[in-house]
Amino acid sequence: MRIAVLADIHGNLPALEAVVRDLTHRGVDIVVNLGDSLSGPLLPRETAHFLIAQDWIQIAGNHERQMLTQRPAEWCPSDAHARSQLSDRELAWMESLGSTRLVADDVLLCHGTPASDTEYFLETAETTGVRMATAREVEDRLSGVNAAVVACGHTHVSRSVRSARGQLIVNPGSVGVPGYDDTVPVPHVIETGSPDARYAIIEQHGAAWSAALISVPYDHRSMARLARQRNRPDWEIALLTGYMS
């Protein structure tokens, strides 16, 4: 069993198309998408149409939930732009997405952690910066999950970790946005240092699972120009460099 894991596309259709071209040569059996697919100043409607046409297993991220449940005054600029571009068709598709999903009998999909779509799983944000989560934090965030593999997104950072019980937790990184800043739970930045699109392939060998973290180049400059046109210099810098300054 080979599963391609995508997350955090954020309306970056050229990055998504590059990832799909890459994974078609790798013999995957299933493609899964962990959410935060549309939010941002790029191409939310076009990305939605692409995703709706796929036979992938897809779940919602926190930005899908926010666009569907928050009042317009509560939307962040990325959600506000995406929401303004979406019709009833795309909103109905978003509403059909669950927050978690079990696939292949032993792979749990979530956006943040199994308990929360806004909680970091493999990283911890503190006033001093963002650090790798401790083994105890990872165990706590597993929340009693017994699946052999947990696939998560949200932080945009590619990483795989083994729990104390031998479970594989995999974050494929972000297809569409290699850096961002946030204020929750404290002000912090995420930087990956590369403009590439990222995804992962998890593979089962007997009872054991392994993960490959993959980085794919694409025409990131065109999306940086679009971000600049949409008055989002933060996105422009992140898309060009993978850094926030």
Dig out the tokens for 98 from the structure.
């669950």
Terminal alpha carbon distance of the chain? 40
Each residue's pLDDT tens digit, 35-94: 999 999 999 999 999 999 999 999 999 999 999 999 999 999 999 999 999 999 999 999
pLDDT at 39: 98
Q: CATH number, domain at 99?
A: 3.60.21.10
Beta strands 57-58 and 129-132 are unpaired
Helices (H), the chain: 13-23, 44-52, 62-69, 77-85, 88-95, 135-142, 220-229, 233-241
d(CA 113, CA 111): 6
* For range 95-119, the mean pLDDT: 97
pLDDT at 118: 97
DSSP annotation of 34 reads -
Bridge partners of 150, per DSSP, are 108, 169
- The number of residues making up the chain comes to 245
Domain count, the chain: 1
Is 94 buried (19+), middle (13-18) or exposed (0-12) by CB count in 10 A? buried
pLDDT at 147: 97
Each residue's pLDDT tens digit, 156-175: 999 999 999 999 999 999 99
Among the listed residues 129, 68, 128, 133, the one whose alpha carbon sits nearest the alpha carbon of residue 95: 68
- pLDDT of residue 143 exceeding 90, the answer is no
pLDDT at 63: 98
Domain residues for 186? Answer: 2-241
